[in-house]
Amino acid sequence: MFELESYLETKRDQINIFLDKILPDATNDSRLVKAMRYSLMAGGKRLRPILCLATAEGVGGQVEDVLEAACALEMIHTYSLIHDDLPAMDDDDLRRGKPTCHIAFDEATAILAGDALLTLAFQMLSAAEIKGDNQGSQWLTVIHRIAHAAGFRGMVEGQMSDIASEDKVLSLDELEKLHSLKTGALIEASIYSGAILGGGSSEQIQQLGVYAKNIGLAFQVKDDILNVEGDPKLLGKAIGTDKLRKKSTYPSIMGLEKSKLFATELVNKALLALESFDNRSGPLRAIANYIVQRKR
Ligand code: GRG
């Protein structure tokens, strides 16, 4: 039987080793590099890079083909968390079980550490080793997609809408739009990057797009559920914050039980999209289930 826990651990190790090579721990590091490393190596789930690796393998590619893309996605994700935690945004003290970057360092350093992680991601992507005839244009496609997902038509716009929607009751459609930008876009880009660089066919890429859309939303629904009934110790962050900030969430709009059913429906749709894939897609199937069963 496929063992997801050990799979996730192996992939996390591969990602952490690569990140450590890009941003090694050196005693003479500047304060900026210390802050970048502090947040990057703080022990997140590494969901986005793992999705990128699992997708590449799912379409017959190798981990080595996509490590730069996977790690760039984690850097962009970490930058977004550092900035999201700032006093001007969510003003959170705890992230990944540790004091947030601006608490451990200071606000200016946290802003700069986020900026530097975002630019380092694109520096690394544009320097990725090109291994095959077609690979140059594939990397450009991936860089374009990731930039789009992270930027003003993706995650940044989603964050802006999130801030603008505090104290407002959103409709389900508005909530879905917000989350498809804020968290969905980067998750979808992670899967797309793995599919392109792993050499997926256009039919596979299309089906993986359906898988990605559904697990991206399921991830957010589960995140909202955990904010209501999760264990802060396991999550490494406070719960109840959405209610405190009067944010519209799936539980606040459709109730807790219906939100759980909705998350399961989304995962089932994601699994259906993988029907024509062979057993190399086993990890992607297991990750879809993990997204709604996770405790952190
Ligand atoms: C500041 C431009 C900018 C964007 C911030 C992603 C984001 C946008 C904010 C994070 C706020 C948040 C709690 C969103 C809910 C879903 C989410 C992205 C949770 C954190 O991701 P995980 O659970 O975290 O993958 P780890 O720490 O495991 O990597």
Domain around 194 = 4-293
What is this structure's pTM? Answer: 0.94
Ligand 1 atom 5 nearest Cα: 80
Strand residue runs (E) in the chain:
94-95, 98-99
**Residues present in the chain in total:** 296
Mutation pick for ligand 1 pocket among 183, 187, 290, 292 (CB with most ligand atoms within 8 Å): 183
- Mean pLDDT for back-to-back runs of 10 residues, the chain (296 residues): 92 97 90 97 95 98 95 98 96 93 98 98 89 81 98 98 91 95 97 97 98 96 95 87 90 95 97 96 96 90
Q: Which atom of ligand 1 is nearest to the CA of 296?
A: 23
Q: Is 183 in the pocket of ligand 1 (CB under 6 A)?
A: yes
- Predicted pLDDT at 133: 65
As a three-state string, the secondary structure of 3-55 is CHHHHHHHHHHHHHHHHHHHCCCCCCCCHHHHHHHHHHCCCCCCHHHHHHHHH
Q: Is 223 in the pocket of ligand 1 (CB under 6 A)?
A: yes
Closest CA to 80 of 160, 144, 193, 25: 160
Q: Is 44 in the pocket of ligand 1 (CB under 6 A)?
A: yes
Query: How far apart (Å, rounded) are the C-alpha atoms in residues 158 and 112?
Result: 21
- Predicted pLDDT at 132: 67
Inter-residue contact 100 to 92 (CB < 8 Å): yes
Which CATH number characterizes residue 194's domain? Answer: 1.10.600.10
Is residue 94 helix, strand or coil? strand
Residue 183 CA to ligand 1 centre (angstroms): 7
- Predicted pLDDT at 254: 94
Residue 1 CA to ligand 1 centre (angstroms): 31
Identify the helix (H) or strand (E) that includes residue 178.
helix 172-179
Tokens encoding 94:
């705890």
Is residue 173 helix, strand or coil? helix
Q: Is 159 in the pocket of ligand 1 (CB under 6 A)?
A: yes
Is residue 276 helix, strand or coil? coil
Distances (CA, A) of 204 to 59, 137, 277, 290: 8, 19, 8, 22
Q: Is 81 in the pocket of ligand 1 (CB under 6 A)?
A: yes
Ligand 1 atom 24 nearest Cα: 44
Domain count, the chain: 1
- Predicted pLDDT at 55: 98
Q: Is 155 in the pocket of ligand 1 (CB under 6 A)?
A: yes
Query: How far apart (Å, rounded) are the C-alpha atoms in residues 88 and 4?
Result: 38
